[in-house]
Chain A
Amino acid sequence: DGGITQSPKYLFRKEGQNVTLSCEQNLNHDAMYWYRQDPGQGLRLIYYSQIVNDFQKGDIAEGYSVSREKKESFPLTVTSAQKNPTAFYLCASSSSVAGLNEQFFGPGTRLTVL
């Protein structure tokens, strides 16, 4: 089955701790994205990567970090510097083929800071 997997589905973190969210895709897509979703605010872009070993900040990158060492993997670390990390996190990927803009989303990880 081709698709995007995110783990874990639910994650609880104590204040001051870093936590890493996993995102894996087997769609052979070059581009991958991380979004944060809060009620009433839609999806806001945290980081994106268009190619292995390269990534760019999105609109709300502060307090987050990423790596892209493999094409299929794009983990997101929520650091203790992120002031309000409780949210629903979505990973997505898309093809780099011209004209194919569709982003495919994973099932999401709900992070709660206790």
Chain B
Amino acid sequence: KAGVTQTPRYLIKTRGQQVTLSCSPISGHRSVSWYQQTPGQGLQFLFEYFSETQRNKGNFPGRFSGRQFSNSRSEMNVSTLELGDSALYLCASSPWDRGTDTQYFGPGTRLTVL
């Protein structure tokens, strides 16, 4: 089975721009979560989608948004980028609805905001 894939792997943007990141979960997984990882804050939960519905959102400003499509692929969008948004963005998929909580992470998108 193919793992979680994320595109692009690296991205450089300037302040004020917006960015869209994509995540394709493991086949059959309907839960997709997004995380931001920085050296200072560690892994922080952004949001989780299940069957195209956002079930949970972390403590991030409204500039961070996401969506999930009917094939379970997910995108997250960050508008009006700030320097502090530079981070590794990880997505993880889970077969949560099949009785296991294990989350499988993708390789991440490294976002640099200049």
Chain A bound to chain B: no
A residues whose Cβ falls under 8 Å from a Cβ of B? none
Residues on B lying within 8 angstroms of A by beta carbon are none
